[in-house]
Amino acid sequence: MKYTFKKKNDWHFVEVDDVPFQILERFTYFGWTPKKIQSIIDGVEESKTKEKGEEYFWGNEDVSLYANKNGILLVDEMALRGGNENIDEVTLQLTHDEMLQFLEDFKKFVEENS
The model's pTM is 0.93
C-alpha–C-alpha distance, residues 113 and 12, integer Å: 9
- How many distinct structural domains can be found in the chain? 1
Question: CA separation (Å) from 101 to 22, 40, 52, 69?
Answer: 16, 12, 23, 17
3-state class of 7 per DSSP? strand
Expressed as residue numbers, the domain containing 103 is 3-112
C-alpha–C-alpha distance, residues 20 and 54, integer Å: 27
pLDDT tens-digit profile, the chain (114 residues): 899 999 999 899 999 999 889 999 999 999 899 999 999 999 999 999 999 999 999 999 999 999 999 999 999 999 999 999 888 889 999 999 999 999 999 999 999 998
